[in-house]
Structure 1
Amino acid sequence: MEPLKDYDALQGYMDRLGLFHMDLGLGRMEAFWAARGMPGIPVVHVVGTNGKGSTSTFLCSIARTHGTKAGLFTSPHFVSPRERVQVNRALLGRDEWVALANEVLTTPGGEALTYFEFQTCLAMLAFEKRNVDMAVMEAGLGGRFDATTVFSPRLTLFTPIDMDHEKILGPTLVDIARDKAGAIHPGSVAVTGPQRAEAMIELANRAEAVGARLIPASDVADPVDGLRLGLSGPHQRDNARLALAGWRVFAAMADIRSEADAEGFGLESAFVPGRLQRVSLGGRTVILDGAHNSHALAALGEALKADGIRPASVIFACLADKDVSAMLPLVRALTDGPVLVPGMDNERAGDAARIASEMGGAARPAATLADALSEAFAARSEAQGPVLICGSLYLLGEFYRMHPEFLTK
């Protein structure tokens, strides 16, 4: 194909690949890197169901405060694909994206990559060219066949594994955990946060089978209860502890001396949008949280309760492939007020009218997020509590497209 001339052409190419087109398997990635040559960058792989983005962000933040140049690849994005690739918390320029994309496409096998594979390869090329000391790669879906698994990481971090993507990974927690455990490479080290028993058994079985070492984060890092965190919510303490443990293992491998003050500052200065993020919109408080499955919604409820927050209303939407029946009772429990279900501009969006009908009570559909916000603001006063937006990262993406100023701290 002809070289991409500018970022608009690149955006058009990625759109044609299809954001939601998935074809799990490592064949294309293996062929690409066999042709290109695998970079010799130390990789930390972050796998799990919930908390991957927060854990990855905490880890990169701690690395930066120790003078370690960290590359971060994460997904999904809210407004621009450029959010997915960062070096020391900074996005790459549009021209750099185009140059990297053309390098991917001129490498044998580059034109066969899926949307996620294409961006994974682009990210790793960027990290190689920027000479990062550490590449933190967040898995997209699953573990065993996720594109990020191709890099044979020396260290893998496991955030909590729970029910999600059942239609792809399998109907039970054992199925899902077994797939994610497949990301553990022979002879590597894996560090895990708290897990349900079924998930922990699968991680242990995989580690034993491939001669890897599995370490609980609690064996490496004490609770972070006495530290200030840049991300809110009790569940973030487990994510921060896992990141801290992962950093200490990585530092030992890289012969880096970890300092308590730098660790603390890294945890405090971490930021990622859409994680119990409070913003002021027209003088009204809105809380943005990307909770998009039952495990995350339960954690969100506990976090709000711990902070003494009772939303006046909730704006909720989710993708059609989610287990809505498990999510709706948790959503209803978040507020005594209305639950507004807007339609989303997304091919995988769940039907708003059906979701509202299944939820019952004061739930009702809205045409758009803007309509839902207007209705929520008209029906409440600040004394009644904030408006909570949750249920899908893509719903939050629509909010950030309306208000991009809230994407940064």
Structure 2
Amino acid sequence: MAILQTYNDVRAYMDRLGLFSMDLGLGRMESFWAGHHAPSFPIVHVVGTNGKGSTSTFFESVAREHGLRTGLFTSPHFVTPRERIKVDGRMLSREDWLRLANQVLETPGGDTLTYFEFQTCLAMLAFMDKGVDVAIMEAGMGGRYDATNVFSPQLTLFTPIGLDHEKVLGSTINAIAQDKAGAMHADGVAVTGGQEPEAFAVLQGRARALGIEFHEAREVAEEVASPLGLRGEHQRDNARLAVAGWRLFAGLYGVLPDDDAMALGMEQAFIPGRLHMVRPEGMPQFILDGAHNHHALVALGRELRHEGIEPDAIVFNCMADKTLDAMLPLLRGFGAGPILCPGMAFERAAAPEDTARAIGDRAVAYFDLRAALEPLRGTCGVVLICGSLYLLASFYELYPEFLRLKE
């Protein structure tokens, strides 16, 4: 008899695990996978601080346009956990989620997994079940001890490393880079996008210690000039890393790169919340961006200036563990209008009153996003929503049509 009876039972079980429950270490994952055959397909691991989701999405889209059956695991989700696991660009069915969730729980150790570990295992079982040709796994917050690192990926892509999750990973670029560098494996190949010198030195040192190939994306691939499905000049850096990764992958596995497929994959790639411009009926133009740390806000500010956009208002809040001191001057510099600080229904979310107090006189606290958006109804102009992917999740819950989900 199945342990869980419906997809809603699966959701309820994951909710009980706790979205933000963390217990770094690979012991539970290693015990779980001791009872399963290793995946027979190659695994591409995307690790870093910013740009992981975009880079993963570009790589998957290019691989799919080359005729490969793809598995993609990303996080977090906006409205439904089903967004996290896709095969050939489509979410798994609710029936697949139920069947695979029970398979996880019926495996010894399956009932000890954390929220993220449970979904990581379910994703890999799904990719094995569906017979994918390649699995693209976006790491969570870590590297060495991230649940996605248990699979010994053949190719690791490093997006820019910056200060984030300092209370877990360390308070310096060096410490965080040391953790991320731990995602490299002795039998793998690694490629990195642009890095701070300190982070680059750590990655390069780890690769040398392992004796593996270590490449810089700019030395493998030229800047991507074709249209991208994701807005922003900074996405060209993510696209270049994905192209470099794809070329290395193609060389490793005998795939003939096709320029037309490459261009089409870049143009059709889509992931919500990355300079995503939408306009719900009766509302102003919204720019949705998940920038949630200093590095990402710098990139966001650069893109706003590049496009000549000065928001008339900003909607902002973040997780309580974020360091606001470096973020707030950037936020205030985006525009001179009001800054609306809504509450978020997540246990780690900062209290809107605390965020508003830290920002200053321009800021107003609201109970939730719906309340914060109500004064904007019927107005014109441009409103920026940023600070947390979980804040964007609140928006997409109100307007799910903008997620462009495929069943």
Paired residue secondary structure (1:370) = helix
**2:319 matched to which residue of 1?**
319
Paired residue secondary structure (2:364) = strand
Which amino acid letter does the alignment assign opposite residue 368 of structure 1? Answer: D
Paired residue secondary structure (2:5) = coil
Quote the offset at 1:375 in angstroms. 2.0
For residues 368 and 102 of structure 1, the distance between their equivalents in structure 2, rounded to whole angstroms, comes to: 35
The answer as to whether partners of 1:233 and 1:303 remain within 8 angstroms in 2 is: yes
Which amino acid letter does the alignment assign opposite residue 401 of structure 2? Answer: E
Quote the offset at 1:220 in angstroms. 1.1
Tell me the alpha carbon deviations over residues 71-112 of structure 1, each in whole angstroms, 9 at most, x when there is no partner: 000000001110000011100000100000111111111111
With normalisation by structure 2, the TM-score equals: 0.97
**1:134 matched to which residue of 2?**
134
Tell me the alpha carbon deviations over residues 123-178 of structure 1, each in whole angstroms, 9 at most, x when there is no partner: 00000011101000000011000000000001000000000000000111100000
Which amino acid letter does the alignment assign opposite residue 385 of structure 2? Answer: I
Change beyond 3 A, Cα 1:282–1:394: same
**2:83 matched to which residue of 1?**
83
For residues 344 and 171 of structure 1, the distance between their equivalents in structure 2, rounded to whole angstroms, comes to: 26
Paired residue secondary structure (1:278) = strand
The answer as to whether partners of 2:2 and 2:102 remain within 8 angstroms in 1 is: no
Correspondence 1:376-387 to 2 at 5 A = 376-377=376-377, 381-382=379-380, 385-387=381-383
For residues 199 and 113 of structure 1, the distance between their equivalents in structure 2, rounded to whole angstroms, comes to: 31
The answer as to whether partners of 1:313 and 1:376 remain within 8 angstroms in 2 is: no
**1:74 matched to which residue of 2?**
74
Name structure 2 gaps, 5 residues minimum.
none
Whether 1:402 and 2:401 are equivalent positions in the alignment is no
Correspondence 1:4-403 to 2 at 5 A = 4-224=4-224, 226-283=225-282, 284-377=284-377, 381-382=379-380, 385-403=381-399
For residues 112 and 69 of structure 2, the distance between their equivalents in structure 1, rounded to whole angstroms, comes to: 31
Which amino acid letter does the alignment assign opposite residue 220 of structure 1? Answer: V
For residues 47 and 330 of structure 1, the distance between their equivalents in structure 2, rounded to whole angstroms, comes to: 25
Instruction: After superposing the two structures, state which structure 1 stretch, 80-89 or 34-43, moved more.
Output: 34-43
Paired residue secondary structure (1:191) = strand
The answer as to whether partners of 1:187 and 1:213 remain within 8 angstroms in 2 is: no
Which amino acid letter does the alignment assign opposite residue 192 of structure 1? Answer: T
Quote the offset at 1:336 in angstroms. 1.1
Tell me the alpha carbon deviations over residues 309-343 of structure 1, each in whole angstroms, 9 at most, x when there is no partner: 11100000100001111111111111110000011
Root-mean-square deviation (Å): 1.1
Paired residue secondary structure (1:396) = helix
Tell me the alpha carbon deviations over residues 373-397 of structure 1, each in whole angstroms, 9 at most, x when there is no partner: 122346xx42xx3111100000010
For residues 233 and 29 of structure 1, the distance between their equivalents in structure 2, rounded to whole angstroms, comes to: 37
Instruction: After superposing the two structures, state which structure 1 stretch, 205-214 or 269-278, moved more.
Output: 205-214
For residues 198 and 361 of structure 2, the distance between their equivalents in structure 1, rounded to whole angstroms, comes to: 36
For residues 66 and 40 of structure 1, the distance between their equivalents in structure 2, rounded to whole angstroms, comes to: 20
Instruction: After superposing the two structures, state which structure 1 stretch, 157-166 or 358-367, moved more.
Output: 358-367
Tell me the alpha carbon deviations over residues 254-311 of structure 1, each in whole angstroms, 9 at most, x when there is no partner: 1010011111111011000111011111252111111111111111111111111111
For residues 82 and 111 of structure 1, the distance between their equivalents in structure 2, rounded to whole angstroms, comes to: 20
Name structure 1 gaps, 5 residues minimum.
none
Quote the offset at 1:40 in angstroms. 1.6
The answer as to whether partners of 2:320 and 2:350 remain within 8 angstroms in 1 is: yes
Quote the offset at 1:2 in angstroms. 5.8
For residues 364 and 294 of structure 1, the distance between their equivalents in structure 2, rounded to whole angstroms, comes to: 22
For residues 87 and 309 of structure 1, the distance between their equivalents in structure 2, rounded to whole angstroms, comes to: 36
Query: Post-superposition, which runs of at least 4 consecutive aligned residues in structure 1 deviate over 4 A?
Result: none
Q: Percent identity?
A: 58
Quote the offset at 1:49 in angstroms. 0.1
For residues 32 and 358 of structure 1, the distance between their equivalents in structure 2, rounded to whole angstroms, comes to: 44
Which amino acid letter does the alignment assign opposite residue 313 of structure 1? Answer: A
For residues 204 and 346 of structure 1, the distance between their equivalents in structure 2, rounded to whole angstroms, comes to: 37
The answer as to whether partners of 2:29 and 2:113 remain within 8 angstroms in 1 is: yes
